[in-house]
Structure 1
Amino acid sequence: MSNHVPGSPTICIHSVCVHTDYRHSQVGLNLVKEFVSRAERAAREGASYECITLIAHEELRGFYEKAGFEWIGLSSVVHGSRPWYEMRRELRARDLENSESTATPSASQLRSAHVLSEQQQGLPPGLWEALQRSSTRSRPVARLLTSFPNAVQDVVTDIDKDGAEGSLCNKYDLLCPRLGCGSIILKSGVATWVERESVQLDSAGETLPDCLGALPNPPATAQWWLVKPNAMAFENIGFSRAIQATGPNGRKLKLLACAECDLGPLGWCEEGGSEFWLACNRVGYRT
């Protein structure tokens, strides 16, 4: 999947992007389904396409499975600190299925077929069931800062991810705090704890979700996770357009949000800046 091969029977999906105004309305899922449908039609009409492949982080597994992709396993691709996983959708196999009887097999027939397939391929018995069980793994559970007896003191460490001692870093992975999301925003040991002047992120009179803690009005101080030198340090983060409010250096602010469920604002950065600030009480912690 690392190189473009003209005429290859494999189609690779690089990414699926949906404008923030249209997320959570199945636009992305419908786009993928339509793409697959057109590829299948082209294959039926003589194109050499045989399958569609992609790599994704684990939390996107359910999204692509809804579009008919199968989970293959760990990918050899290395980019960032998180592992990538391969998924695959066969195209020609679907044509063969459509040419067979449309009768629905019973559960016992399916189990027998799975066992036979395992025996033919020399796979350990029960592997299929194990793979099926693995697909039901739950997302990480975000623990809010208010649940820690000593608040920030319980979520910092002076040892970073490389084992060196220094500034106070995040002891745990930082997650989206929304119940049911839990998307990983930042791995442990990447951010530095800083207490500095608060920043007004919310509109006057705005009602925030319970999982987002209140921030004091400037010039009172707040507790932040400082992330630098660029956005590649994040596992998953979204940015708003520049707003009228300005930061300490006089540049317009961009608000940070969960890139998967759009919960925010979780923090801020200055337009064109190299420092990104997450409010300690607006992220979850994986303990």
Structure 2
Amino acid sequence: MNEMNESKSDDVELLSNGNNRLDCRCKVTGCNSLIFRTDTAPLHRQEQKLPLGDHVDTISTFWRLDDVFKFENVTFTKETETENGKIKYLACCDCEYGPIGYQDVKNQICYVAIDRVKYSQPKNNDDHDS
């Protein structure tokens, strides 16, 4: 497969067998915490507003994790009421960058925004460093 497309509009480069083909990590320089491993989550499309700093983005492409135990490192906020129901925001547990996604409180499914994480080739027994 070719290198990832820099435009991020070509999601196919991120997929293998329907799931993420690369490890998903915190994108903060110097953190690099492993959020979840290769082949853990399928791509999911739905619109959700996520704050970041002093603005709010409408995100439409996420990784879907049906089980919180598929995460390597993530933290959850308290419940927040939104126009789409109650959610908990997800953030990096090491540097608290986020939200990188959210959890639907009703069904416990988590969604990680594909643009709020970075990607790396999987490494054996590697939890934090690049």
TM-score by length of 2: 0.79
Name the SS for the 1:199 alignment partner: strand
Equivalence map 1:15-34=2 (5 Å): none
Whether 1:199 aligns to 2:48 is yes
Map of 1:54-133 to 2, 5 A cutoff? none
Could you tell me which of 17, 21, 35 is aligned with 1:171? 21
Please list every run of at least 4 consecutive aligned residues from structure 1 whose deviation after the TM superposition is greater than 3 angstroms: 148-151
Q: 1:154–1:148: structure 2 CA closer, same or farther, 3 Å change rule?
A: farther
In structure 2, how many angstroms separate the alpha carbons of the residues matched to 1:146 and 1:257? 25
Equivalent AA in structure 2 for residue 245 of structure 1: T
Unmatched 5+ residue regions in structure 2?
122-130
CA separation of 1:179 and 1:189: change in aligned 2, threshold 3 A? same
Larger strand fraction of residues: 2
Cα-to-partner distance string for 1:95-139 (whole Å, 9 max, x where unaligned): xxxxxxxxxxxxxxxxxxxxxxxxxxxxxxxxxxxxxxxxxxxxx
Matches of 2:5 and 2:91, distance apart in 1: 20
Please give the alpha-carbon distance, in whole angstroms, between the structure 1 residues aligned to 2:14 and 2:111.
Answer: 16
In the TM superposition, residue 215 of structure 1 has moved relative to its aligned partner by 3.1
1:271–1:202 CA distance, 2 compared to 1 (3 A): same
User: Structure 2 vs 1, CA of residues 206 and 146 (structure 1 numbering), >3 Å: closer, same or farther?
Assistant: farther
Find 1:281's aligned residue among 110, 115, 118: 115
Aligned residues: 118
Are 2:71 and 1:227 equivalent residues in the alignment? no
- Cα distance, 1:246 vs. partner? 4.8
Over the residues paired in the alignment, what is the CA RMSD in angstroms?
A: 2.4
1:4-54 CA distance string (max 9 Å, x none): xxxxxxxxxxxxxxxxxxxxxxxxxxxxxxxxxxxxxxxxxxxxxxxxxxx
Q: Radius of gyration: which is bigger?
A: 1
Q: Amino acid of the residue matched to residue 200 of structure 1?
A: K
Higher relative helix content = 1
Aligned-pair identity (%): 25
Once residues 202 and 257 of structure 1 are traced to their aligned partners in structure 2, the CA distance between those partners, rounded to angstroms, is 12
Unaligned runs of 5+ in 1: 1-144, 159-167, 209-213, 217-221
How far apart are residue 154 of structure 1 and its match? 1.1
Tell me the amino acid that sits aligned with residue 223 of structure 1: T
Distance 2:111 2:83 in 1: 14
Matched, 1:268 2:102: yes
Residue 74 (structure 2) aligns with: 237
Which has the higher relative contact order, 1 or 2, with Cα contacts under 8 A spaced 6 or more apart? 2
| Structure 1 residue 270, shift from structure 2 partner | 1.9
Q: Secondary structure at the match of 1:256?
A: strand
Q: How far did 1:179 drift?
A: 1.0
| Cα deviation, residue 200, structure 1 | 1.2
Letter of the aligned partner of 2:68 in structure 1? A
SS in 2 for 1:153: helix
**By how many angstroms is 1:243 displaced?**
1.1
Whether the aligned pair in 2 keeps the contact of 1:246 and 1:253 (CA below 8 Å) is no
Contact 2:5 2:13 survives alignment (8 Å): no
- Residue 282 of structure 1 deviates from its aligned partner by 0.8
Once residues 95 and 108 of structure 2 are traced to their aligned partners in structure 1, the CA distance between those partners, rounded to angstroms, is 24
